[in-house]
Structure 1
């Protein structure tokens, strides 16, 4: 299983915003530089996070991005869904329906993975990542 680089950048961006102080606005160039990614590419990711109501943008000389209310309730799964969407990772090529044994195994595995990501809140990772952000 592999998530896109966009998800990786989104997760790290959210951690950086949380560690930098939740109410502080940070520019896209600073966020992009921190991760070694193009500001244009990161802007597209930030747009998805803003549409998911996790961050907000501010225009102007001191513009940038900052976290929205309840940022401390975000799980890793919330970020994954904001970037990747909520569709299943596996689609059976045959139209067997729910009785397909392969589909059953994969759906159970995916449910367990989602539960694991749902249980891990981003805010708890700040302590572990603070030195690396």
Structure 2
């Protein structure tokens, strides 16, 4: 199983925003330069995070992005779902109504979902502060 590059960026963006001491808006330009990705691609990732209610966007001269949800409450699952959606990773294509193989895969997904819901980005950033600096 492999998550998209957008999920990788989204997790790093969220870790960075969570790790910041101030609550000032973070503008697109410096973030895109620091992450070495295009403004267009970064904007698409940020839009998905806004739609998920994790961050908010403020237009204008002093605008930018900041947390919308309490930083201690944001889980890895929240960010992953914002980017990847909620589709199942495995679907039986054999046409069996009650596929036992699919049930095993769903159970595995459920375990992963529970784990990622329990893991908060804030706890990881706090434990390993350099992880929130967007270092590569």
| TM-score of the two chains, using structure 2 as the length reference | 0.90
Unaligned runs of 5+ in 1: none
The size of the alignment, in residue pairs, is 132
Q: C-alpha separation between the residues in 1 aligned to 2:41 and 2:128?
A: 23
Uncovered stretches (5+) of structure 2, i.e. residues with no partner: none
Q: Where does residue 131 of structure 1 map in the other structure?
A: 130
Q: CA RMSD in A?
A: 1.4
Q: Which moved more, 1:77-86 or 1:33-42?
A: 33-42
The alpha-carbon deviation at position 71 of structure 1 amounts to: 3.0
**Matching residue of 1:111:** 110
Which has the larger displacement, 80-89 or 20-29?
A: 20-29
Structure with greater contact order relative to length (CA < 8 Å, sep ≥ 6): 2
Render the CA deviation track for 1:24-73: whole Å, top value 9, x for unaligned.
21111222222221111010010011011111111122221000142320
Q: CA deviation at 1:75?
A: 0.5
Partner Cα separation in structure 2 for residue 131 and residue 81 of structure 1: 25
State the SS of the aligned residue for 2:62.
coil
Distance 1:19 1:114 in 2: 24
What TM-score do the two structures reach when normalised by structure 1? Answer: 0.92
SS at match of 2:130: coil
C-alpha spacing 1:48/1:61, structure 2 compared with 1 (3 Å): same
